[in-house]
Amino acid sequence: MAAFVLLENGPEMVASWINLSAGVQVNGTPAFEAAHGKDIWSYAVGDESFSKLINDAMACGARVVTVPAIIKGCPEVFDGVGSLVDVGGGNGTASGLLVKAFPWIRGINFDLPHVVCDAEQSHGVENVGGDMFQSIPITDAIFIMQVLHDWGDDECIEILKKCREAIPKDNGKVIIVETIMEEEENLGDELKSVRLKIDMAMMAHTDKGKERTLKEWDYVLGQAGFSRHNAKHIRAVHSVIEAYP
């Protein structure tokens, strides 16, 4: 988890915490922007080392905790999936792990061009550059992990609409991996605390990002045109939401 620790304790992220008060004021400037003059994604485009640190940190969490928990906890969500686009997949770690676990899947790691140019080369995975707000490669299913929490509802709905456009209407689906801010009997106090900390990090590091309750997921998925969805809890702080056109 070294990359994650380095990211969260680096000068860029610490400065956003120091400026958190600016972000919580009415009509205030988001904390990261108050510290650096631009949002985190624009800043990353102009700072190659910071961009790499973000991708390494996300890959670390995917490799060590989240993707193994998904593979073990709900492998059935990948049944019948021939092709899978990982939207915002960073350096391709998640795609590589999923294709290795489910070798019948043809994986596509999809992220901004400056991100995928440094992506890992994994058997069965193609790295494709693009903008999720413009279009997403056509596929059987979409995997989107810890991306939607970076955005406000309007942007989240826009991304989800592009996801829905990229999958078949009859049997396509979007596999969302995010924290669900709900009271759950099978989760202990430790995980509840972690979810709260992640929500606060979204407040400090993004403009409008947040963790969502199940009711809030119902809203954004409905607004994006999905007909139904279900949530599955895994042995991790995140849950898996399957959304259908």
Instruction: Read off φ and ψ for residue 232, nearest 5 degrees.
Output: -125, 130
Inform me whether the pLDDT recorded for 183 exceeds 80. no
Q: Which residue has the tokens 């279009």?
A: 135
pLDDT in tens, 99-156: 999 999 999 999 999 899 888 888 999 999 999 999 999 999 999 999 999 999 999 9
pLDDT given at position 186? 52
Residues with a catalytic annotation lie at 149, 178, 211
Residue 44: which of 111, 134, 96, 109 has the closest Cα?
Answer: 111
**173-178 vs 228-233, strand pairing mode:** unpaired
- Enumerate the domain spans of the chain: 2-244
Comparison of pLDDT for 71 and 9, the residue scoring more: 71
- CATH H-level superfamily of 2-244: Vaccinia Virus protein VP39 (3.40.50.150)
pLDDT given at position 188? 53
This prediction's pTM: 0.90
Average pLDDT over residues 49-69: 83
